[in-house]
Structure 1
């Protein structure tokens, strides 16, 4: 940050202060000097070492220590052997970062020693250090970046702002009013005065990785009070460095650990499909635009079937979205995308001869699934099965359940319970022995326990993904009362998850709807008017003939 000549000048100015045998980092002092004319450097250096002398005096009472102590992140490289020997209580919390205690005085900050900790007591000091840290005033700003990610910047004059990364869940809630998702957050602490984080809650996390990594390096190099150039993952109270530094080549790279990679891949698959609650699903969909995109995609399929997966996803989205204005699914404009979703989903996963796909009165396209390889997309396959069940297309359901399980297992973006659930449905519709079906269902339930989840967000899994499994369990048991109670609970969970979000997936509880249709076939008493279950799909009143090959 200084030229060679400036560096020599700074060393000459600090030399008189280094007669006590202590080692001092000149990094922060260099930042201070760079911001003022050289004629003021002697003054800046003198004030800097005066503060250090004052901070090193010690002798405070236990009450004074408790009142002023703060948890403090230190750059690992700044902890000299001499300092480390005086603060054995300190611990390394992540690559490049050390947790210590610091006393915030009127004009200076002093790092506490082992003697200070012993005088007060480690547990009591730790509690006070956290409480005082989380009372530090910070300012919060949202920073949108390219790709749709939003970064949250916490900054302020205090040298303790970045240290709030130690307790990021609390800091994020205090600043934003929102809790962090189960996936935690990506976070950088380039200087003592700021931290920037991005919740690991949707597919925009991929864009946030590069933006945060670039920001951390730049702010670390340019800002006063430099702390760390690394990108970290805060998860369940722990900080894990994603940045790998090659000292030989002085190069940086970002290498997320396998658990985070799995989460990121899952979120990337979930968010664009509108399956989870994100910022993007907070805006009402444009039905006309959705319909037009579906028509255009369907028209292209005649010449280029490679876009079949996207067009199927568009049909499922429009089928849900239409139920905003037509919650009973009474109109033909609502039926068309449901019928299309059945046809396209079956062609996508099970292949087949060309068939006529119709949308409205003026668009009919021959779409083929010949030679198609089913995608490794378990949730897409479940969508196809659910819409086929809702539309009472039992032959198509059986064809979908003939998709090789080996292909679905190639989807590495899902937790294992979804694979077990797919196996359960395949076994059921293939009319395998009931004992085999029950064993597969039990494996599904066991694999969906919270401690077994490493991919999908917990609240989404529990409130949305798992509900069809619970309902199917009641169907197999033949327990009408238990099914009714579970169905009511599933709809409550759907409401609790989506709230008043206008997202298409918020309009219809697709999995519970499919299970309710299945239960009706076994003469379970299911009410006609239930929220999120369109009446004329539930009772079959809107079901029309779907063209076949």
Structure 2
């Protein structure tokens, strides 16, 4: 039996125009990156907002414009780590259907573990294995932020994902450290409701995935979506926030499961159907 988890928040009368305006703003920001590469952080935020706006008006990602938005966000996220990983010269990055020579900017505080996870989720959703590998080759120390900004579990979590994708030894130990480090009593920088509702569920899903626990994965996916919904509807401000329109981490893990032929007994606009089923893959070079 398929379980349906309805998404909160319907498109309003101005939602389509807002999505279009964000797309235009993003195109302008991308065009300026070759002369203003340090703006890539704000460009990434705009790209993510554009994805959320597109998914608001197109919950199944049935329109090409939504796929274009997701691909652009993935490209900008990967470019963010490419330009901050170089200290001189330029880096060739394909963004918005063009290959661009972006000047290196060297290490920046925004090239952190949080943005790494977002960029990695997008690369998984786009099934871009080359970018997944490039992101996983980034040394963990490059992603560290000043003490107190992130709890230690996030670095174990990134380490576990990199270890899995690059087939390095020690996955069990690293994933165990991520799980134990995300216990409520072990964290201090992360709000408990954010941890429980948004940040921990992908770790649990990944644990089920690597164990090939098909039944457990489906159950954990339903739970992840219900927790996501509970977090993003806890108050009026959150309910209006477009960040909650899709569950990016669970979506990425569901894409891995789908491609691994793990049956998914859940449907939800939090997991846009045509992103999950890779319907647009190969539509244009990414």
- Relative distance call for 1:401 and 1:544 in structure 2 (3 A) is same
Contact kept, 8 Å, 1:305 with 1:367, in 2: the verdict is no
1:174-189 matched pairs, under 5 angstroms:
none
Match of 1:158 in 2: none
Where structure 1 has 5 or more consecutive residues not aligned to the other structure, the ranges are: 1-282
Structure with more strand by fraction: 1
Closer/same/farther in 2, CA of residues 469 and 355 from structure 1, 3 Å limit: same
Q: For 2:39, which of 307, 315, 334 is the aligned residue?
A: 307
51, 56, 61: which is aligned to 1:319?
A: 51
Aligned to 2:162: 426
Question: Is the counterpart of residue 287 in structure 1 residue 19 in structure 2?
Answer: yes
TM-score by length of 2: 0.83
Closer, same or farther: CA 286–325 of 1 in aligned 2, 3 Å: same
TM-score in terms of structure 1 length: 0.45
Residue deviations 1:326-385 (CA, integer Å, cap 9, x gap)? 0011112211221111111111113484234227xxxx5725264643644211110000
For these two proteins, the number of residue pairs brought into alignment is 260
Using the alignment, how far apart are the partners of 2:51 and 2:42 within structure 1?
A: 14
**Contact 1:376–1:408 at 8 Å: present in 2 too?**
yes
3-state SS of the aligned residue for 1:286? helix
Q: CA deviation at 1:286?
A: 3.5
Q: Is the 8 A contact 2:60 2:269 kept in 1?
A: no
Does the aligned pair in 2 maintain the 1:284–1:503 contact within 8 Å? no
After TM superposition, give the deviation of residue 432 of structure 1 in Å: 1.0
Is the CA contact 2:198–2:228 (under 8 Å) kept in the aligned structure 1? yes
- Residues 473 and 444 of structure 1: CA distance in aligned 2, closer, same or farther (over 3 Å): same
* CA shift for structure 1 position 421: 0.5
* Structure-2 residue corresponding to 1:466: 200
Residue 417 of structure 1: aligned partner: 153
Matches of 1:371 and 1:350, distance apart in 2: 9
Unaligned ranges ≥5, structure 2:
1-14, 84-89
**SS of structure 1 residue aligned to 2:96:** strand
Matched, 1:397 2:125: no
Q: Return structure 1 stretches of 4+ with deviation > 3 angstroms.
A: 283-286, 350-353, 369-376, 544-548
Q: 2:141 aligns with which of 406, 428, 438?
A: 406
Residue pair 2:126, 2:278 contacting (<8 A) in 1 also: yes
Question: Match of 2:181?
Answer: 447
Larger Rg over CA atoms: 1
| CA–CA separation in structure 2 for the residues paired with 1:422 and 1:515 | 14
Do the aligned residues in 2 keep the contact of 1:284 with 1:502 (CA within 8 Å)? no
Residues 338 and 387 in structure 1, CA contact (< 8 A), matched pair in contact too: yes
